[in-house]
Structure 1
């Protein structure tokens, strides 16, 4: 049975962010709570892994959100050695493709948000599902859709959980889409890529790599490389079966 624990930010911001977790599987240590975020360390017991998670709820006004952007840039310097996930309602979009409808002049807000993402070294976590995550539900012709909700990661997260992604679901009672983090199957079942050096001498080697590498994979560059390495495993496995001889291995994880 789930053993739920809760943390809410009543003291600092009037109950904008709630965090709930199953105490049977994870330990959560709230490190800092601000008016637009909760930052915590999460220990996943099996497999044992420590990660940092920042849950955000951006303010409505451009000027007020700048405090959040500054916080994320500071947190980035504190999370250089730990996988870090940042997610929630940022109340900002990155470009006009994330807006459908009349929204006024949002260029300054977009510039601020993109500068924060660049300065913090954040990467977009691969996403599937609803593109626009918020709708104003207007009864007038002024319908407005925006992509206000997302998950982002640092490079340590990408290295530790290279196949992780998230889904944006269809909203129900809320005007926002729920987001679900999808676990990393490669990490759970062992994701080391092994390569036998002697295979490079096979006349089929270059052709095999070129065939896999020409695929256009949607996602971050690191995600694309990881997908292609996984696809090459079965190719090299077949070539091993068809060729004997001494083996010299190198491995990357």
Structure 2
């Protein structure tokens, strides 16, 4: 649990923690970074093991694991400063943490005191100032992905009425690629404001749904691979009976099977193939470096280099098509960008629950996707 802006002075911290009445809970705060506590976190010490990694005036980062086992999660609780100049420290910290946390699931959540776009505000000053670009730029450079959200969009209200009313989305929940891969159904629920002018955030890390066989999709990269035309001719040359439409659908089904087998032989697990090709190319380069006069070593190095280049091109084409990003023209080898876009798109479009006609909400993957 994270509490933002409790505004408690150091001499009163112990009294406040005791007053919460949460037995077996341990608390930590960033009160030593300023005159008032801005972030307080707490956890049930019988269930969780929490290690504080870093704290500042605008953040607390910790590692969380269940005592009965399970995956470690790194969480950064955020309370952004009210001034854009002071928030620069927060933006620099998050961008630096991107590389530090690449190999662990990283959740970033809290009150950032900043909006991402014009639609995140209603009322008040309508100008878009240059410093307002800092937050979206930070999220982009940190490669953070919005958690799927439900509930309120505007998470802060100034409690005024009429023309004086101001609404803002200041509270956010993000995850890095590692977290989304482990918990693709992770979700943030922004609840109704009760005793605060901010919406509470309830975050759930749902387990992966059971494996479902992927539906057939034509990949553009197949058309550039050796053997593609022969595969299509072989499938289309099979005998089919019935009326013209029946023969067409029959041949399309046959072609689907041939292309699926073609994919298994040539382009399945494309990223693993790229990694293996890169390893072989490096081995060939090392061998050539030790035997510079060996003509076969030179030919092996060229062959491995060409194979690696072709697979890299196929990998980029695969992720570009699946991410549905067609406008990027930054240069060659944008594979990592397309991969992040695909991950974000899958997470954004994922359906985690359905409401039946009776009003019952189901989160059973089999009920959501019965096919």
Q: Which TM-score bucket, shorter chain as reference?
A: 0.7 to 0.9
**Structure 2 equivalent of residue 221 of structure 1:** 345
What CA deviation, in whole Å up to 9, does each residue of 1:41-74 have, x standing for no partner?
A: 1113345111110000000111110110000001
Give the superposition deviation at 1:123.
Answer: 0.4
Say which of 150, 163, 168 aligns to 2:185.
163
1:41 is aligned to 2:41: no
Displacement over 4 Å in runs of 4+? 201-206, 224-228, 230-234
3-state secondary structure, aligned to 2:38: coil
Partner of 1:5: 26
- Distance apart, 1:225 and its partner CA: 7.0
**Secondary structure class of the residue paired with 1:72:** helix
Q: Does 1:29 align with 2:153?
A: no
Residue of structure 1 in register with 2:143 after alignment: 121
TM norm structure 1: 0.76
Deviation at 1:194, TM superposition (A): 5.2
Structure with greater Cα Rg: 2
Structure 2 CA distance for aligned equivalents of residues 233 and 204 of structure 1: 26
Structure 1 residues 70 and 102, CA, compared in 2 at 3 Å: closer, same or farther? same
Deviation at 1:32, TM superposition (A): 0.6
Q: In 2 relative to 1, CA 233–139 (structure 1 residues): closer, same or farther, beyond 3 Å?
A: closer
The answer to which structure has the higher strand fraction is 1
Give the equivalent residue in structure 2 for 1:91.
Answer: 113
Map 1:57-76 onto structure 2 (within 5 A): 57-76=79-98
Taking a change above 3 Å as real, the CA distance of residues 175 and 203 of structure 1, as seen in their structure-2 partners, is same
Taking a change above 3 Å as real, the CA distance of residues 227 and 193 of structure 1, as seen in their structure-2 partners, is farther
Deviation at 1:116, TM superposition (A): 0.2
Q: Which residue of 1 aligns with 2:296?
A: none
Unaligned runs of at least 5 residues, structure 1: 207-212, 214-218, 236-253
Match of 1:148 in 2: 170
User: 1:178 aligned to 2:302?
Assistant: no
Say whether residues 1:80 and 2:102 are aligned partners. yes
State the TM-score, normalized to the length of structure 2. 0.53
By how many angstroms is 1:224 displaced? 5.3
Alpha carbons 2:148, 2:348 under 8 Å: kept? no
Task: Kindly indicate which of the two structures has a greater share of residues assigned to helix.
Answer: 2
CA distance in 2, matches of 1:113, 1:36: 14
Report the aligned-residue RMSD. 3.2
Question: Equivalent residue for 1:210?
Answer: none
Count residues in correspondence: 218
Shift of 1:183: 3.2
Query: Any idea what SS the aligned residue of 2:73 has?
Result: strand
